[in-house]
């Protein structure tokens, strides 16, 4: 964190190049925007590598593409100025002590302004990821800003945009989430919803935009709280009620008209699946502003970055909801898509169900909840499934909740409205088990008396 309010995607990339040169890979040969950038990241991920990729020459566009910026916890920790182990605490602290944004006079993101007939999205790289995705160009790292007409707070959230013509995209909004609720209020009044989609973000803006919880919270203030200094904002040129980061790379300003729909998809999502097409709202672009030499940022859909980016926000919210239900909750973890594991020191056998029901009600993206005892690490999928195997009798430890509100992105959902059966698993040991249970243990004094050096000889080398 520079401390001069000038943190942005560029300064973060510069810092990475300086402090962790192995974390940035420059690809200078020409690549195709159709599947090839996604293929390069997929091949790296197979080898457990996850660098930021900078594609300097992408066919069909003059703009460099930057991807996988938030692809490792180590980079998030560097961006937020904390240790990896402290990321959750850093996020929670930002929510307790948000730092409101400030308007600045200077807005590099408005160095170039195009309005009216000059609006043309075809200068952007036309990225397509998966084989069965709709062939239109996709914009995956646009953070959409919109003002809540009732509270006046500004919401930030990620939305996939499918480009359809020079000044129009679809915009996918998860039903029940904050932006969709704002849209419905505009629609009920017969009004257009003014929005701005900004591209090119410091990681704090990215993870801040993934705040999950009260609609009264301004995600800009979470982003500010994450780095301890306010995000510098500028007013949009054609949608002056909507503020955008003055140091973003590109801003698409515009409106979502009340009745217009566009057939959107298929699009391979974070679940690893596409779920067909749908009639999505439309984003009419009224202005494009940018730096003189903008970087185009994206997130390869379904990549590790795609799962990691929202996890800090989701886990913080899950922990808050679970602790409100039961104070003895120790940890909450997004264990797999749509799946939360919670560890708990329970005082009565009803507590796991109170946690499960609170969490299943709290979010369309929470479908399965597993509760384990405090001696099981909720962050370790192997330990959680071992507890499910050894501490559950399924006729009383598993409850099914049919007909709940879930996400249409879940490939198992029967219909596009996202109706889903949810499930809770209480994998905690009963406070009074039916049979005496004793965990394996070796007497501590015997463990401590073992001299491995003597057993293995002097050749013993310490292991990392
Ligand atoms: Mn919000």
For position 458, what pLDDT does the model report? 65
Contact criterion met (CB below 8 Å) for 169 and 285: yes
Distance CA 226, CA 201 (A): 14
Query: pTM for the full model?
Result: 0.92
Distance 382 CA to ligand 1 centre (A): 34
For position 437, what pLDDT does the model report? 85
For position 459, what pLDDT does the model report? 62
What secondary structure does DSSP assign to 227-242, as a single string?
HTSPPEEEE-SS-TTS
The pair phi, psi for residue 364, each rounded to 5°, is -65, -25
Closest by Cα among 78, 89, 160, 100 to 315: 89
Distance CA 63, CA 226 (A): 29
Distance 446 CA to ligand 1 centre (A): 55
Distance 299 CA to ligand 1 centre (A): 21
Sheet of 52-55, strand order: 24-27, 52-55, 65-67, 296-298
- Alpha-helix residue ranges (DSSP H) falling in 228-331: 304-308, 311-325
Distance 219 CA to ligand 1 centre (A): 6
Distance CA 318, CA 359 (A): 7
Q: Residue 328: is it exposed, middle or buried by C-beta count within 10 angstroms (0-12/13-18/19+)?
A: middle
Contact criterion met (CB below 8 Å) for 456 and 447: no
Q: Which residues of the chain have pLDDT under 50?
A: 464
Distance CA 438, CA 279 (A): 57
Closest by Cα among 360, 357, 366, 356 to 310: 366
Distance 147 CA to ligand 1 centre (A): 10
The pair phi, psi for residue 104, each rounded to 5°, is -120, 160
Distance CA 332, CA 321 (A): 10
Write the CB contacts of 183 (distance below 8 Å, at least 6 apart in sequence).
Answer: 173, 193, 256, 281
Q: How far is CA 19 from CA 13, 78, 438, in A?
A: 10, 10, 50
Q: How far is CA 439 from CA 283, 375, 390, 397, 442, in A?
A: 58, 11, 12, 20, 10
- Structural tokens at position 302: 């379904």
Distance 190 CA to ligand 1 centre (A): 22
For position 416, what pLDDT does the model report? 85
Distance 233 CA to ligand 1 centre (A): 17
Paired strand residues for 436: none
Q: How far is CA 297 from CA 53, 103, 126, 201, 211, in A?
A: 10, 24, 12, 8, 20
Distance 235 CA to ligand 1 centre (A): 19
CA 419 to chain centre: 22
Buried residues in 394-425 as b, exposed as e (16+ CB within 10 A):
eeebeeeeeebebbbbbeebeeeebebebbbb
Residue position matching structure tokens 């015997």: 446
Distance 351 CA to ligand 1 centre (A): 29
Distance 61 CA to ligand 1 centre (A): 33
For position 464, what pLDDT does the model report? 46
Distance CA 375, CA 351 (A): 16
The strand pair at 296-298 and 65-67 is best described as: parallel
Distance 156 CA to ligand 1 centre (A): 6
For 384, the enclosing helix (H) or strand (E) is helix 381-391
């Amino acid at each position: 964190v520079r401390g001069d309010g000038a943190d942005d995607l560029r300064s973060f990339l510069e810092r990475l190049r300086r402090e962790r040169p192995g974390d940035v890979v420059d690809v200078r040969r020409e690549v195709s925007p159709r599947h090839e950038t996604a293929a390069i990241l997929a091949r790296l991920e197979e080898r457990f590598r996850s660098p930021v990729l900078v594609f300097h020459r992408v066919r069909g566009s003059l703009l460099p593409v930057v991807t996988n910026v938030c692809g490792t916890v180590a980079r998030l920790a560097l961006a937020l100025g904390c240790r990896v182990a402290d990321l959750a605490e850093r996020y929670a602290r930002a929510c307790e002590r948000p730092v409101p944004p400030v308007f600045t006079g200077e807005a590099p993101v408005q160095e170039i302004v195009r309005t009216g007939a000059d609006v043309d999205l075809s200068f952007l790289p036309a990225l397509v990821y998966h084989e069965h995705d709709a062939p239109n160009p996709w914009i995956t790292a646009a953070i959409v800003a919109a003002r809540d007409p009732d509270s006046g707070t500004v919401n930030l959230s990620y939305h996939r945009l499918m480009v359809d013509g020079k000044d129009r995209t679809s915009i996918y909004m998860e039903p029940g989430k904050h932006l969709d609720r704002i849209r419905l209020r505009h629609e009920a009044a017969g009004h257009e919803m003014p929005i701005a989609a900004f591209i090119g973000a410091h990681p704090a803006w990215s993870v801040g935009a993934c705040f999950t919880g009260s609609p009264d919270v301004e995600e800009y203030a979470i982003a500010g709280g994450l780095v301890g200094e306010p995000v510098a904002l500028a007013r949009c040129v054609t949608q002056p009620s909507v503020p955008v980061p003055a140091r973003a790379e590109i801003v698409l300003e515009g409106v979502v008209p009340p009745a217009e729909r566009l057939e959107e998809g298929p699009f391979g999502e974070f679940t690893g699946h596409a779920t067909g097409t749908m009639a999505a709202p439309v984003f009419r672009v009224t202005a494009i502003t940018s730096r003189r030499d903008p970087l185009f940022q994206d997130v390869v859909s379904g990549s590790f970055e795609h799962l990691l980016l929202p996890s800090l926000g989701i886990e913080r919210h899950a922990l808050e909801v679970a602790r409100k239900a039961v104070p003895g909750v120790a940890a909450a973890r997004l264990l797999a898509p749509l799946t939360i594991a919670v560890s708990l020191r329970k005082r009565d056998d009803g507590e796991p169900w109170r946690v499960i029901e609170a969490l299943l009600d709290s979010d369309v993206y929470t479908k399965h909840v597993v509760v384990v005892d405090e001696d099981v690490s909720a962050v370790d999928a192997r330990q959680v499934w071992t507890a499910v195997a050894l501490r559950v009798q399924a006729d009383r430890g598993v409850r099914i909740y049919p007909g709940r509100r879930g996400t249409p992105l879940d490939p198992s959902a029967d219909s596009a409205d996202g109706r889903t059966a949810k499930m809770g698993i209480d994998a905690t040991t009963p406070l009074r088990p039916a049979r005496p249970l004793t965990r394996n243990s070796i007497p501590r004094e015997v463990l401590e008396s073992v001299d491995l050096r003597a057993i293995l000889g002097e050749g013993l080398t310490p292991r990392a």
